[in-house]
Structure 1
Amino acid sequence: MKKFFFDLAGELPAHDVLGRQCKSDEEAKDHAQFIAHRIGTERPTFAKPGNYISVRDESGREVFEAPIKPTIRTQVARH
């Protein structure tokens, strides 16, 4: 397994110092998209152009970017 790092990039950057073991580049991409979706849901103010999750491999090379997008919440009508 390879180690990947998932940094918050953009307005308020934060570096992942621990990293995460992933079986493949595709698994790292999926994990980055999960993080970006969760941030967009839990912190909608972070969902703006230029904010994204940057995935780095062990050599420090960026291999993927997952944009943080707003999550549209629908309200359920209650009767």
Structure 2
Amino acid sequence: MVNGKVVSIPSFHCRINDVIEIKPKSTSQTVIKNNIENKRFGDIPTHLKFDESKLSGTVTNYCDRNELLLELDELLVIEYYSRK
């Protein structure tokens, strides 16, 4: 959920100060609680603020390119979509 509304679009663009959370009766809450207990996730990115008590995150800033864990050549993506 984003800002209290269900979002079903995987590529949804969040804005600064958007609150991202899980539906209250969702089975995903169990998965997230287990990940928090086992520390299976890495460091929380600097552009997000996570509230463990509410299991929600807030977008505080735009993502910095250096924080992405993907090796991505943006020019190849642009080239691919420009052919269509």
Normalised TM-score (structure 1)? 0.30
The structure with the largest alpha-carbon Rg is 2
Relative to the length of structure 2, the TM-score reads 0.29
Give the structure with the higher percent strand.
Answer: 1
* Greater relative CO (CA pairs within 8 A, separation 6+): 1
